[in-house]
Amino acid sequence: MKLSHLSETLIGSEIVKLGGEIREKIRQGERIYNFTIGDFDPSIFPIPKELEDAIVEAYRKHFTNYPAAEGNLDLREAIHTFTKDEEGLDYSINEILVASGGRPLIYTVFRALCDKGDKIIYAVPSWNNNHYTHFVGGEHIVIEAKAENNFMPTASAIRPYIKEAVLISLCSPQNPTGTTFRKEELEDICDMVVEENKRRGDGEKKLYVMYDQMYWHLTYGEIKHYNPVSLRPAMREYTIFIDAISKVFAATGVRVGWGMGPATVISKMKAILTHIGAWAPMAEQKAVAYYLANRDGIKKYLTNFKSEIEERLHRIYNGFSLLKTEGYSVDAIAPEAAIYLTIKIDLVGKKTAEGRSLENQSDVTAYVLNAAGLAVVPFYAFGADRSSSWYRLSVGTCKKDEIEEMIGKLREALLKLS
C-alpha cells in the first residue's frame, strides 16, 4: 500500500530497537544493567511529593476540561516569575507557550521557522534533530562534534554553513552527552548569529537558535549553565528556549513543558500547536503553577535529587577510569550535567573467546549486551558516524548497589577478548 512520502521515509529509532532486545532478554530471565533510558525509575527518583499532592488535588477539584491554547494564565505567570528569579530571563506572558512536554514545542519551532529545503544546522550526536529536520523537509547541515570539545559544537565548525541557514538547534546540558557549553564558546556562537542577522536584508529570513535547556538545573561541581540571551541580549530576538519539568523534577510522564521567545514566533507556534492539540493536561498545569512558587520545597528536592544523580555518575565514571588504567579499551568523560555519562567502548577488531571478530560498532554494542549484560545507547543512534565508539549511559533507573557489579561484569567480558 502506497503511503505518504514522509511515512515511507521516516527513520526508525535505534533506541526503540535496542529497547525491544533488552526487554526480551529481561523477559527470558537474563541479568541486564539497563542504562539506555533517558527516564527515571519512580521507585528511585519519585516526583516531588508536593507536586504529586497538587496534581491529585487538582483532579479532585475537577480541573479536567481543556486548558487555554497557549497554556493557562496562572502557569505562564508562574513560569515568568520562576524563570526571571532563577535564571534572570524576563519573558512576558505572551512570550511563553505551554505544551505537553518539550517535544511538541520543538516540533512547532521547526514548523514555524522552516520551509522545505531550508538549511537547518545541528550537531551530532544530538537528540532527534535529524527526525525533526526530516519532518519539515529541511536540508540537513550536520556538524560532527568531537571528543576534544566534549561533543559540543563550536562556532568555528558552524560558521562555514550559516549563510542562508534559518535555524541552529542547540542543547545544553546536552542529550546524549551530559556535557555543556563553555561560556566563551557559546558567546562566539551568539556573536556569529547576531552578525549574520545584521548582514541579511529585510526581505530575508533571519537565523534563529533553538536552545533546548531541559537539563539546565542539573549541573554538578563547578559547571555553570549559560544561555544565549543572558550572554548576549541581542540574541533575545533570535532565540527560542525549550524547557520543562520533565527532567528537573523527574516528571517525564507528567507532560508539562514551555517555550519562550519572540512574541511573533511564539504566536505562530501557538497556532500550529492549536491544530495538533498537544496541550499539557489542565490538572497538571494547575499543579505546576502552584509548585513553581514553592521555592524552598524545590531547593530541598533538587539538593537531594542532584546529589543522588551525581553520585551515580561519578561512581560509574570512576569505574570506567579504573578499567582504563587496567589497560582495557574504554574511556569516559567526567560528569558535567544531566543524567548522562559519555563513555567509550573501543573494541572493533577484537576477537571473542569463540574466535568471532567484532567487525563494527554494532558488534561491540551486541557483545557488551550479551557478554556483560550492559545496555547503553551508541552515539550512532544519535546521528553520529556508525564507526563511533562512544555511548550514552543514563543513570535515571540506576540502583547504586548494581554499579560495582556492572563494572565487574564488564571487566570479565573485556578480559575474554583478544
pLDDT digit string (tens) for 235-273?
999 999 999 999 999 999 999 999 999 999 999 999 999
- Residue range 340-353: average pLDDT? 95
Task: Please state, in angstroms and rounded to a whole number, the distance separating the CA atoms of residues 60 and 42.
Answer: 23
Task: Please state, in angstroms and rounded to a whole number, the distance separating the CA atoms of residues 252 and 142.
Answer: 28
pTM, two decimal places: 0.94
- Residue range 366-379: average pLDDT? 94
For residue 401, the model assigns a pLDDT of: 93
pLDDT digit string (tens) for 34-43?
999 889 999 9
Extended beta strands in 101-225, E state: 119-124, 139-144, 165-171, 208-212
Task: Please state, in angstroms and rounded to a whole number, the distance separating the CA atoms of residues 260 and 358.
Answer: 47
Task: Please state, in angstroms and rounded to a whole number, the distance separating the CA atoms of residues 300 and 305.
Answer: 9
Whether the CB-CB separation of 97 and 270 falls below 8 Å is answered with yes
Instruction: Please compute Rg for the chain using Cα positions.
Output: 22
For residue 91, the model assigns a pLDDT of: 98
Q: How confident is the model at residue 323 (pLDDT cuts 50, 70, 90)?
A: very high
Residue 140 pairs with which residues in a beta bridge? 120
Ordered domains of the chain (ranges, CATH): 5-45+299-415 (3.90.1150.10), 49-294 (3.40.640.10)
Does residue 9 surpass a pLDDT of 90? Answer: no
CA angle 188/193/196 to nearest 5° reads 125
For residue 351, the model assigns a pLDDT of: 92
φ/ψ (deg, to 5) at 350:
-75, 160
Does residue 1 surpass a pLDDT of 90? Answer: no
- Residue range 56-81: average pLDDT? 98
Whether the CB-CB separation of 304 and 392 falls below 8 Å is answered with no
For residue 17, the model assigns a pLDDT of: 75
Task: Please state, in angstroms and rounded to a whole number, the distance separating the CA atoms of residues 128 and 38.
Answer: 13
- Residue range 45-54: average pLDDT? 98
- Among the residue ranges 151-160, 185-194, 378-387, the one predicted with the least confidence is 378-387
pLDDT digit string (tens) for 124-169?
999 999 999 999 999 999 999 999 999 999 999 999 999 989 999 9
For residue 19, the model assigns a pLDDT of: 76
- Residue range 298-313: average pLDDT? 98
Task: Please state, in angstroms and rounded to a whole number, the distance separating the CA atoms of residues 52 and 36.
Answer: 26
Does residue 276 surpass a pLDDT of 90? Answer: yes
Does residue 25 surpass a pLDDT of 90? Answer: no
- Compute the mean pLDDT over every residue in the chain, rounded to the nearest whole number: 95
Does residue 12 surpass a pLDDT of 80? Answer: no
For residue 388, the model assigns a pLDDT of: 94
For residue 201, the model assigns a pLDDT of: 85
Q: Which helix (H) or strand (E) element contains residue 15?
A: helix 14-27
Q: Which parts of 88-146 fold into alpha helices (H)? A: 102-113, 129-135
For residue 24, the model assigns a pLDDT of: 86
Q: How confident is the model at residue 22 (pLDDT cuts 50, 70, 90)?
A: confident
For residue 28, the model assigns a pLDDT of: 87
For residue 42, the model assigns a pLDDT of: 96
- Residue range 305-315: average pLDDT? 98
For residue 51, the model assigns a pLDDT of: 98
